[in-house]
Amino acid sequence: MIEARALTKTFRDKKRGEIRAVDGVSFRVEPGQIYGLLGANGAGKTTTLRVLATLLQPTAGGATVAGFDIARDAQEVRRRVGFLATSTALYGRLTARETLQYFGRLNGLADAEIAARTQRLAAELDMHEFLDRRCDKFSTGMKQKTSIARTLIHDPAVMIFDEPTLGLDIMAARTIVRFVRECRARGKTVIYSTHIMSEVEKLCDRVGIIHGGRLLAEGTLPELRARYGQQDLEEIFVAAVGPPPPLAP
């Protein structure tokens, strides 16, 4: 469903020169799988996801999503992808229901279909309590649930979540983790980017560890545990990326 082939993205910085944010990343995600992209802040997770979602053009390499090339068939990829970014915002004057209606219409859905999908997403994400309240009155958890719902209003086959539980309390985070698991049960293909180890252990069928823009390790949790001789995912992560440099004297 998703195949990245030596995916590379570089940026130019006046002071630092060329920055290789993504460096030859290759992986596959099969239909109905949750693929966990695990890495620290600045590891290259978000840039990789933005390239896959066609928000950025790759510098080299390529990828296909649902059989479509991200460079040649960008519009077809967008029709089949729901991308939740960490930096998106909501328009405060709209209610959650109005937000979903707006994004549903952007995706060419009829009003009756939007209404039906709104009710289903509101039930799955526990949104009914605030569905008709304005977004400028929302808590962080309410905003994130609304952002997820608007991302998925067109019922995409591929879902890309970038740090979906960042800053949420435990109950809101549990709701979102449960929702992602239910998406897999319905046959959706998911890339789940996070630095929260427990979420990876609960959700992901395969895990890729990314650091410095490079994919350093990949496999199922049992495969990674066998490879690194560790049961704890945090220890596996440290073993894969290597110890931090020593502090300067």
Q: What is the CATH number of the domain that holds 188?
A: 3.40.50.300
202 part of a folded domain = yes
163 part of a folded domain = yes
- pLDDT tens digits for the chain (249 residues)? 999 999 999 998 777 778 899 999 999 999 999 999 998 888 899 999 999 999 999 999 999 999 999 999 999 999 999 998 877 789 999 999 999 999 999 999 999 999 999 999 999 999 999 999 999 989 988 999 999 999 999 999 999 999 888 888 888 889 889 989 988 998 999 999 988 888 999 899 999 999 999 999 999 999 999 999 999 999 999 999 886 655 555
213 part of a folded domain = yes
Question: What's the 3-state SS for 63-108?
Answer: EEECCEECCCCHHHHHHHEEEECCCCCCCCCCEHHHHHHHHHHHCC
φ, ψ for residue 210, nearest 5 deg: -115, 140
142 part of a folded domain = no
127 part of a folded domain = no
Domains identified in the chain, total number: 1
249 part of a folded domain = no
Q: Which residue segment(s) compose the domain that 198 sits in?
A: 2-90+157-241
34 part of a folded domain = yes
